[in-house]
Amino acid sequence: MSKLYKITDYKPLLNPQETEQGIKKIKDFFQQNLATGLKLRRVTGPLFVLRGTGINDDLNGIERPVTFPIKDLGDQQAEVVHSLAKWKRLTLAEYEIQPGYGIYTDMNAIRADEELDNLHSLYVDQWDWERVITADQRNVGFLETIVRDIYAAMLRTEFMVCEAYPQIKPFLPNDIFFIHAEELRKMYPDLTPKERENAITEAKGAVFIIGIGCPLGDGEPHDGRAPDYDDYSTISSLGLPGLNGDILIWDSIINKAVEISSMGIRVDKEALLRQLESSGKQERKKLYFHKRLLDGKLPLSIGGGIGQSRLCMLYLRKAHIGEIQASIWPQDMRDKCRKQGIHLL
């Protein structure tokens, strides 16, 4: 069911024309900073992949991809991508990218099962990136180093935006705060995972929650993750499982924690087998992507996605992602947004 967060006294700081210009400034500036900071080369990514190859990201495992038949392939089914989590790793192997370097691409997707609100749209646009690593970099310390590099690009982008539009004031803290999902659960034992995210992110401003997908002390994961890209089961130097996580930023306009990035060190052979077994997905070992990984044909890597529209929404102090991107919204949401001064594209 769609919903609209309650916003009071909302006044856009930029008009629609300034907003469109700001979106371009942010996207151009941030992706160049990201590429330089992480040593990434831009590549062209697909909008759709063949069904049955195991390449598409199945997110939490319940979302239905948009599909269509391909006439010239005997009506084989294609799937519009959810993200390019697995495709990127195949591309690293194909391009023979060396450790310390990687790729990024403009990813456009359709997620038909999204519950629409101020942050969730049918249309998803993000920078999908992936970088080759060595075996000794498969640890939480290296993960945190990459997160700090990404956050540094976010801080530089904020400075650029505030210089271009003086009516927009800085809001990001100087540093990002790290916490494991189990530590967060113990800190707020009576809250739901989303409530915990809001509590810690409001307190810290910018947070990276480690260990998304692994069962916590109460037997439940903080949030779902597909078993075949992020490594959420390897025991880290923290003594807790998980080499992945989410970047969250506090948005004082909608009074919510906004997930900007889901990322992590990717599964190696052992982690893939372990996570497929624990999730009951062993049949995936027969798929193209999984066979390549199990046969040692794919490099070790770290990667993730960074939401473009959400990032722009934060920087430009907007109340709804529909002020940044053109999508389809229920009529009642459009009516409510109009009353609140929210201009949906």
Catalytic position from the list 31, 83, 126, 275: 126
In a domain, 4, yes or no: no
Indicate if the pLDDT at residue 1 is higher than 80: no
Pairing of strands 177-180, 206-210: parallel
149 as an active site residue: the answer is no
Q: What is the mean pLDDT of residues 174-190?
A: 97
In a domain, 318, yes or no: yes
In a domain, 9, yes or no: no
pLDDT score for 63: 72
In a domain, 6, yes or no: no
In a domain, 126, yes or no: yes
Indicate if the pLDDT at residue 160 is higher than 70: yes
pLDDT score for 2: 63
Catalytic position from the list 31, 57, 130, 268: 57
pTM given for the model: 0.92
Indicate if the pLDDT at residue 88 is higher than 60: yes
pLDDT score for 345: 85
246 as an active site residue: the answer is yes
Provide the number of structural domains found in the chain: 1
In a domain, 239, yes or no: yes
Q: Are 192 and 222 in contact (CB under 8 A)?
A: no
pLDDT score for 172: 98
Catalytic position from the list 125, 228, 246, 251: 246
Catalytic position from the list 89, 111, 131, 317: 111
Question: Residue 256 belongs to what domain range?
Answer: 16-339
Q: Are 186 and 222 in contact (CB under 8 A)?
A: no
111 as an active site residue: the answer is yes
- Percent of the chain at pLDDT > 90 equals 76
126 as an active site residue: the answer is yes
Indicate if the pLDDT at residue 258 is higher than 70: yes
In a domain, 51, yes or no: yes
- Is 144 or 9 the better-scoring residue by pLDDT? 144
Catalytic position from the list 121, 236, 261, 262: 262
At 82, which CATH number? 3.30.930.10
225 as an active site residue: the answer is no
In a domain, 124, yes or no: yes
* Lowest mean pLDDT, pick from 162-176, 266-280, 327-341: 327-341
Catalytic position from the list 117, 128, 228, 259: 259
SS (H, E, C) the chain: CCCCCCCCCCCCCCCHHHHHHHHHHHHHHHHHHHHHHHCEEECCCCCEEECCCCCCCCCCCCCCCCEEEEHHHCCEEEEECCCCHHHHHHHHHHCCCCCCCEEEEEEEEECCCCCCCCCCCCEEEEEEEEEECCHHHCCHHHHHHHHHHHHHHHHHHHHHHHHHCCCCCCCCCCCCEEEEHHHHHHHCCCCCHHHHHHHHHHHHCEEEEECCCCECCCCCECCCCCCCCECCCCECCCCCECCEEEEEEEECCCCEEEEEEEEEEECCHHHHHHHHHHHCCHHHHHCHHHHHHHCCCCCCEEEEEEEHHHHHHHHCCCCCHHHCCCCCCCHHHHHHHHHCCCCCC
